[in-house]
């Protein structure tokens, strides 16, 4: 057994101590606090040191990795016993990370393919997350809610896997705490989770995630981001919301791949063969995430959730409008700067073509049409509102590209601002007109 696999197994055993929380009650933090103290001050060599030591630990002669892991688990346990975090979610967050890392290491024994490594993390982390919640429920004599446990375990594992792709192994304490806090939010928003909804969400998002990676439309981190977003949209919004989301990701990805060699020759091609990374996914979809979370929260607040449907559709319309305008409009000659209409070289930030403007409006109209067909509260006038909001969001993207885009205000920030404009315009117009 490789040292990294033995180490991951040791951390998994430490994480399993979270299952004792219902029995220990307010002392649930104690095992982790003891481990942290021993790791920080008591073990500097010998078999235990060799089991848990990471390369940096060996250089420093101290088990800093195990110390941080145990302290993060102790901190989460205090949130559970003193601040109201459900004990089942404390156990899930710890188990998801500990066993997700083990799953990734198990896969690494036979292949270094990053997709299969992420799949190993998600699979074993999900199994451990479900088992952790079920064990806590059994020990505390509370109902075992299988669909809800599966949803929370998958969501938590995707969050942890995404952070692990973006961060380093030494950042596991941050990953654990972030996973626990986000699971707390997801649990509060998910008023009801049905078996059919969860099964459909998992089947569709996992399948599309694999296809997007296999076709080179997304990196591993981008794939994880997209699958997590899709899962949240299906569970908190519904299939109609997911269809709106996929209209952007599907058509947008195809447009990015369209005549990629020609775009590369013209100097306007996306990096990484057009594969979307986390920054690109979140830049275009962060507003959509906020909208679906706000929609889920609206069920418990005196707010009409319909407005968030329009905001969600408007943000996606802006994202697709901007993508088609750039990816298809960039194939045509004679672009002009949107602020002065001066001729500029292809690929210049803020440069537009009339063909790109047409493609951009068509993209926004496609999202408006999908929203009309599948979102129950969107009317024909509402679909037009979404299309116009999306087109104005695309225009905002071009203006920002011509005026402020640069090292301090990058492309992801411009995309976020454009989708925010699309969301706000669509929501405000719908509220005023409908």
Tell me 408's DSSP state: T
Q: How far is CA 431 from CA 46, 103, 105, 310, 434, in A?
A: 67, 48, 51, 9, 6
> Rounded to whole angstroms, how far apart are CA atoms 97 and 103?
10
* Termini Cα distance of the chain: 65
> Rounded to whole angstroms, how far apart are CA atoms 232 and 403?
35
**Is 244 within 8 Å of 369 (Cβ atoms)?**
no
pLDDT at 394: 94
Beta-bridged to residue 174, according to DSSP, are none
> Rounded to whole angstroms, how far apart are CA atoms 190 and 431?
26
pLDDT at 148: 92
Could you tell me which of 30, 131, 21, 133 has the C-alpha nearest to residue 80? 21
Could you tell me which of 163, 158, 155 has the C-alpha nearest to residue 198? 155
150: left (phi over 0), alpha (psi -120 to 50) or beta: alpha
Instruction: List the structure tokens of 111.
Output: 């292949």
Mean pLDDT in consecutive groups of 10 residues from the start of the chain, 434 residues: 87 96 95 95 89 89 93 96 94 97 94 90 95 95 90 94 83 94 93 76 79 73 84 88 89 82 74 62 86 89 87 95 88 86 84 90 95 89 94 93 81 90 94 78
Q: List b or e across 252-288, with b for residues whose CB sees 16 or more CB atoms inside 10 angstroms.
A: bbebbbeeeeebeeeebbbeeebbbbbbbbbbbbbbb
**Is 86 within 8 Å of 80 (Cβ atoms)?**
yes
Q: What is the CA radius of gyration of the chain?
A: 24
**Is 161 within 8 Å of 78 (Cβ atoms)?**
no
> Rounded to whole angstroms, how far apart are CA atoms 159 and 167?
12
Long-range Cβ pairs for the range 2-9 (8 Å, 24+) = 2/105, 2/109, 3/50, 4/105, 4/108, 5/102, 5/105, 5/106, 5/108, 5/109, 6/51, 7/51, 7/52, 7/53, 7/54, 8/101, 8/102, 8/104, 8/105, 8/106, 9/102
pLDDT at 269: 65
pLDDT at 199: 81
Place of tokens 């197994």: 9
Q: List b or e across 1-36, with b for residues whose CB sees 16 or more CB atoms inside 10 angstroms.
A: eeebeebbbbbbebbbbbbbbbeeeeebbebbbebb
């Amino acid at each position: 057994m490789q040292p990294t696999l033995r180490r991951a197994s040791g951390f998994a055993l430490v994480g399993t101590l979270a299952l004792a929380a219902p029995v220990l009650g307010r002392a649930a933090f104690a095992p982790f606090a003891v481990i942290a103290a021993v790791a920080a001050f008591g073990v500097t060599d010998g078999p235990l040191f060799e089991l848990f030591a990471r390369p940096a630990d060996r250089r420093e002669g101290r088990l800093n990795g195990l110390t941080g892991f145990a302290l993060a688990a102790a901190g989460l346990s205090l949130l559970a016993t003193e601040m109201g975090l459900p004990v089942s979610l404390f156990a899930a967050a710890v188990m998801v990370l500990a066993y997700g890392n083990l799953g990734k290491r198990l896969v690494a024994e036979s292949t270094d393919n990053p997709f299969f490594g992420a799949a190993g993390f998600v699979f074993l982390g999900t199994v451990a997350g479900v088992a952790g919640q079920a064990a806590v429920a059994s020990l505390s004599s509370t109902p075992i809610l299988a669909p809800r446990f599966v949803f929370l375990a998958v969501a938590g594992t995707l969050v942890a896997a995404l952070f692990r792709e973006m961060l380093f192994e030494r950042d596991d304490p941050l990953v654990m705490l972030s996973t626990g806090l986000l699971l707390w939010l997801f649990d509060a928003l998910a008023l009801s989770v049905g078996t059919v909804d969860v099964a459909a969400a998992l089947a569709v998002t996992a399948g599309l995630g694999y296809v997007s990676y296999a076709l080179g439309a997304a990196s591993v981190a981008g794939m994880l981001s997209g699958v997590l977003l899709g899962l949240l949209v299906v569970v908190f919004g519904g299939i109609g919301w997911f269809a709106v989301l996929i209209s952007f990701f599907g058509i947008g990805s195809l447009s990015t791949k369209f005549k990629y060699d020609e775009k590369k020759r013209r100097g306007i091609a996306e990096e990484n063969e057009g594969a979307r990374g986390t920054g690109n996914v979140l830049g275009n979809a962060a507003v959509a995430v906020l909208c679906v979370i706000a929609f889920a929260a609206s069920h418990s607040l005196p707010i009409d959730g319909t407005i968030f449907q329009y905001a969600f559709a408007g943000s996606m319309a802006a994202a697709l409008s901007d993508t088609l305008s750039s990816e298809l409009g960039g194939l045509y000659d004679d672009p002009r700067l949107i602020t002065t209409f001066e001729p500029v070289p292809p690929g210049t930030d803020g440069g537009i073509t009339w063909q790109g403007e047409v493609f951009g409006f068509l993209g926004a109209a496609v999202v408006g049409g999908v929203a009309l067909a599948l979102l129950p509260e969107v009317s024909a006038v509402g679909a037009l509102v979404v299309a116009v909001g999306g087109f104005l969001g695309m225009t905002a993207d071009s203006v920002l590209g011509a005026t402020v885009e640069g090292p301090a205000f990058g492309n992801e920030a411009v995309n976020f601002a454009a989708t925010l404009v699309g969301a706000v315009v669509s929501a405000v117009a719908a509220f005023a007109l409908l």
